[in-house]
Amino acid sequence: MRGQINQIYRYVLRRDADIDGLNTYQDRYNNGWSLADIERDIVNSEEARNLHRY
């Protein structure tokens, strides 16, 4: 699962996930979040918005 979360980070944020991010999203996944939920949360993050600002 951590590998899949890291792939989302790489796709959206163009970097590897840090340990806090991995732990946060692993916990959320274990508590019912889907990978789509995780991706949506990362896409809507301030970091992603700043990275993809034009």
Predicted confidence (pLDDT) per residue in 1-54, tens digit: 999 999 999 999 999 999 999 999 999 999 999 999 999 999 999 999 999 875
Report pLDDT for 52.
83
CB atoms within 10 A of CB 53: 6
Three-state secondary structure along the chain? CHHHHHHHHHHHHCCCCCHHHHHHHHHHHHCCCCHHHHHHHHHCCHHHHHHCCC
Confidence (pLDDT) at 37: 98
Q: What is the number of alpha carbons within 13 Å of residue 10 lying toward its C-beta? A: 7
pLDDT of 10: 97
Q: What is the pLDDT of residue 54?
A: 57
